Amino acid sequence: MSTENLIEIRDVSFAYRDRPVLKGINLTAPRGKVIAIMGGSGCGKTTLLRLIGGQLRPTQGEVRVDGQVIHQLGVDALYQMRRKMGMLFQFGALFTDMTVFDNVAFQMREHTNLSEAMIHDLVLMKLQAVGLRGAQGLMPHELSGGMARRVALARAVALDPMLIMYDEPFTGLDPISLGVIGNLIRRLTDALGLTSILVTHDVHESLEIVDYVYFISNGVVEAEGTPAEIRASKLPFVHQFVYAEEDGPVPFHYPAPDYAADLGLGSDR
């Protein structure tokens, strides 16, 4: 069962109704690595995470996690598998009616028979790891965006999963929080020996911390490689993305008729 790659995505296509989102994606995530999936907004990155988490079924191809095809599992086996996955949502998705402590303790209380004293110690360990032991009594609405993200991170690792998925972990953060979260992702991955999949469009922060990058555009893998290879890439799409150029293969202008003609210039007058 212990395959080299924790996640193997083979030739996966997915469509919402008749709108294709992914068209034949191949992707692997080796154990113990941080993988980034990058691409413009709305290119199907989040859909890819949903496929891995078993919340969606691919229309074609297969998604294997830990050697098992995720969309062929029954409900119980899927839930069993999800206990080994953590997920960090875009804005943290903390449970608003619970304290920070209860948020982190949530999965332990739902899935284990640990005593309250044991849960207490474990939760404080997790919160200490993200530097928020002092905030255990606060409610989610009292936290800043960065702190909420860190609590969500502590919650995601609560049951020591083998895989954590991050959905746009850097959105809406100030540069300091951004650096903190980035380093935490790297540190937790190395310390806990887990595998991380990072979906983001924040190139610079993620190139610092990841081991391998997939670029997705228009539903296909456009480019892949280590951060060094990506930075050196001559592919126009990657170049435009990494160096944030305005125009390139991804045009600045939405397709439109000729500008001059649209303004009514140069025709009859």
Partner 1 sequence: MKPPKQNLISRIGHSVIDSIWIMGVATRFLMQVLWRSGTSWRRFGLIIREIYASGVLSLVIIIVSGLFVGMVLGLQGYQTLQTYGSEQALGVLVALSLVRELGPVVAALLFASRAGSAITAEIGLMKTTEQLKAMEMMAVDPIARVIAPRFWGGVISMPLLAAIFSIVGVFGGYLVGVVLIGVDEGSFWSQMQAAVDVREDVLNGVIKSVVFGFTITAIALFEGFDAMPTAEGISRATTRTVVTSSLAILALDFILTAFMFRGV
**Where on the chain is the footprint of partner 1 (CB under 8 A)?**
53, 55, 79-80, 82-83, 85-87, 89-91, 93-97, 106-107, 110-111
CB 263, CB 269: distance < 8 Å? no
The token duo for 92 is 């943290």
DSSP state of 254: P
Rounded to the nearest 5 degrees, what angle is found at the Cα of 173, between the Cα atoms of 219 and 203? 40
Closer Cβ to partner 1, 93 or 124, answer by number: 93
Spatial distance between the Cα atoms of 12 and 31, rounded to a whole number of angstroms: 21
The least CB distance from residue 20 to partner 1, in Å, is 23
- Residues present in the chain in total: 269
Closer Cβ to partner 1, 18 or 268, answer by number: 18
The least CB distance from residue 235 to partner 1, in Å, is 33
Instruction: State the greatest distance between any 2 C-alpha atoms of the chain, in Å, as a whole number.
Output: 85
CB 151, CB 126: distance < 8 Å? no
The token duo for 35 is 């993988």
Spatial distance between the Cα atoms of 126 and 142, rounded to a whole number of angstroms: 19
The least CB distance from residue 231 to partner 1, in Å, is 33
Closer Cβ to partner 1, 110 or 246, answer by number: 110
Residues 6+ apart with CB under 8 A from 72: none
Closer Cβ to partner 1, 97 or 258, answer by number: 97
3-class secondary structure, 131: coil
The least CB distance from residue 37 to partner 1, in Å, is 17
Residues 6+ apart with CB under 8 A from 19: none
Spatial distance between the Cα atoms of 269 and 263, rounded to a whole number of angstroms: 12
- DSSP string computed for 40-61: STTSSHHHHHHHHTTSS--SEE
Closer Cβ to partner 1, 95 or 243, answer by number: 95
The least CB distance from residue 174 to partner 1, in Å, is 20
The least CB distance from residue 65 to partner 1, in Å, is 13
The least CB distance from residue 46 to partner 1, in Å, is 11
Closer Cβ to partner 1, 79 or 243, answer by number: 79
Closer Cβ to partner 1, 156 or 185, answer by number: 156
